[in-house]
Amino acid sequence: MKVMLKLLWACVATMALCACENAENKLEKLVPADACGVVRIDVPSILDKAQLLEGDMVRLDDDLLDLTTAHYDNLVSRLVRLCASGGIDVDVPIYLYFDNRNKPVALIAVDDNERLVTMVEEETGKNFVSDNKNETKHLRDKDYSYSLQENVLLLRFVLADVPYEAEQPANYYNSLKTSQGLLEKNEEIADFLHEENDVNAYLTAKCIDEILPAEMGPLALVALPLFKGHDFNAMRVTFNLDSKNSLATLNTAIEAQDGSAYSTFLSQVLVQPSVSFLEVVPASMENVIGINVNGEVLAAMPQLTALQEAFPLSHPSVLNLPALMATIDGPLVIASAPDPYTGENNFIFTARSKAPEAVLDSVSAYAELQGQEPMHAYSGDLIYEYGMRQMTVGVRDSIFFVKAMTYDDSGEDKLTHLPDVTDLFSHSMAGIYGQARLDGNLVGIYTYGLKDIKHGEGLFYTVNDDDNVALTVLKLLCSFSPAPPAPAAAEAKLPVDS
């Protein structure tokens, strides 16, 4: 009898595994051949590590439920809510791809159509429309389109001003079935996506080229010269959560030929890391982005010309950006943090220069043309009053800096007192350090460093050892609101407001 029960259990387990594989295979076939990026999200693993599973059901704690409600326009929030609907097959990974217009599309396996439809209608206040001819149900809510057909849900991001016709969802779904899927045509990509990681992403140059400037804010200003318009094939990204150690790890690898424009450009522009700037930046800065560059090479690159065109100066002959850039030899860093009292953003720009005094003189002459007279500090720094903040421009050894602060930081510890920051920028040609907050409370630290021109490593860990890192990451991702459209570029002045 025991032998029979074991055999029966083995058969049930095998059937369940086969069902999951068939459902995932069905999703993979729908990833179109012209997708410019594809992401595989291991839903079963992430839900288990976040401790959100109760039997076969997903239960959101109050904080996560509130976040997904407040940020329902966030794609991750909608995906989390769908997993908790009871209609999603949470034993199957979710596939996310970027279509040929670089808009995200989620492919999700459904095991209870009626329950899913009921939940989505209740949350959106809209009703699914049935297309009996194509056996499809579809619903449009703000920038999202839901299409349900053959136990697969397509959740697409569609701009609100895009015309919406009743037959579009069915046509879109049917076109995927005949598009000679990307993963079927490229076994190498499929094999990579099946590697045992919580998230695997394969992003082509086109995908990064278009997404990065629009979505990454200040980070794009640093990363744009590295990736924009280059001819690398793709970036492979893996992400893993270790709830036992409250730690998450990120690894990136660029596919690029040694003689490609990407490899040639970075090998010429990037230089060995230096932490000389750390003595200038106060430890209160919550975000630090830095890159070590050969300014003389970068000054001759078209990327710098594009940056000048985006932020035009009124007196380019006085503040000659290419000439100033040519003096940089090492770290080029932006650090920022919100002021706890005024809400304004304090920021610091630093750069190691071969002629820092000449840079200081150029900035001083530019400010004078703007009608701004400085105060001269005892240290030799130039101080400009600007509203509630001081704009301090100065030199320490070979480091030129500009500080826009609401307080005097002279007595504050510097970044050298933070071992994580020192270690990151000691070993990274380009690096990012940041503090992650929820409702103003510090919940985690993240770092990312480019170790060489093709490989990068990142870490995220919670500030409290007892916190669940998977749950914390989900809450952070759900807390992001879509970025508002960027304002038109205005003529730059010194000091500046942002």
Task: Kindly state whether residues 32 and 164 are assigned to the same domain.
Answer: yes
Residue 350 pLDDT: 94
pLDDT tens for residues 164-223? 554 466 667 777 776 777 888 889 999 999 999 999 999 987 777 665 544 444 444 445
Task: Kindly state whether residues 275 and 236 are assigned to the same domain.
Answer: no
User: Residue 133 domain-assigned?
Assistant: yes
User: Residue 222 domain-assigned?
Assistant: yes
Whether 5 has a pLDDT exceeding 90, the answer reads no
User: Residue 16 domain-assigned?
Assistant: no
Task: Kindly state whether residues 413 and 467 are assigned to the same domain.
Answer: no
pTM equals: 0.85
Residue 310 pLDDT: 59
Task: Kindly state whether residues 381 and 476 are assigned to the same domain.
Answer: no
Task: Kindly state whether residues 165 and 52 are assigned to the same domain.
Answer: yes
pLDDT tens for residues 224-265? 555 554 578 889 999 999 988 899 999 999 998 888 888 888
Task: Kindly state whether residues 185 and 275 are assigned to the same domain.
Answer: no
Residue type present at position 319: L
- Three-state SS annotation for the chain: CHHHHHHHHHHHHHHHHHHHHHHHHHHHHCCCCCCCEEEEECHHHHHHHCCCEECCEECCCHHHHHHHHHCCCCHHHHHHHHHCCCCECCCCCEEEEECCCCCEEEEEEECCHHHHHHHHHHHHCCCCEEECCCCEEEEEECCEEEEEECCEEEEEECCCCCCCCCCHHHHHHHHHHCCCCHHHHCHHHHHHHCCCCCEEEEEEHHHHHHHHHHHCCHHHHHHHHHHCCCCCCEEEEEEEEECCCCEEEEEEEEECCCCCHHHHHHHHHECCCCCHHHHCCECCCCEEEEEEEEHHHHHCCHHHHHHHHHCCECCCCCCCHHHHHHCEEEEEEEEEEECCCCCCEEEEEEEEECCHHHHHHHHHHHHHHCCCCCEECCCCCEEEEECCEEEEEEEECCEEEEEEECCCCCCCCEHHHCHHHHHHHHCCCEEEEEEEEECCEEEEEEEEEEEECCEEEEEEEECCCCCCHHHHHHHHHHHCCCCCCCCCCCCECCCCCC
Task: Kindly state whether residues 317 and 245 are assigned to the same domain.
Answer: no
User: Residue 492 domain-assigned?
Assistant: no
User: Residue 455 domain-assigned?
Assistant: no
Whether 291 has a pLDDT exceeding 80, the answer reads yes
User: Residue 456 domain-assigned?
Assistant: no
Task: Kindly state whether residues 108 and 231 are assigned to the same domain.
Answer: yes
User: Residue 86 domain-assigned?
Assistant: yes
User: Residue 307 domain-assigned?
Assistant: yes
Task: Kindly state whether residues 227 and 99 are assigned to the same domain.
Answer: yes
Domain count within the chain: 2
Task: Kindly state whether residues 111 and 252 are assigned to the same domain.
Answer: yes
Task: Kindly state whether residues 201 and 255 are assigned to the same domain.
Answer: yes
% of the chain with per-residue pLDDT over 90: 48
pLDDT tens for residues 300-354? 877 677 666 655 666 666 678 888 889 999 999 999 998 877 777 888 999 999 9
pLDDT tens for residues 62-117? 999 999 999 999 999 999 999 999 899 999 999 999 887 778 899 999 999 999 99
Task: Kindly state whether residues 89 and 197 are assigned to the same domain.
Answer: yes
Give me the domain span that covers residue 138: 23-264+461-484
Where does a domain end: 428, 452, 473? Answer: 428
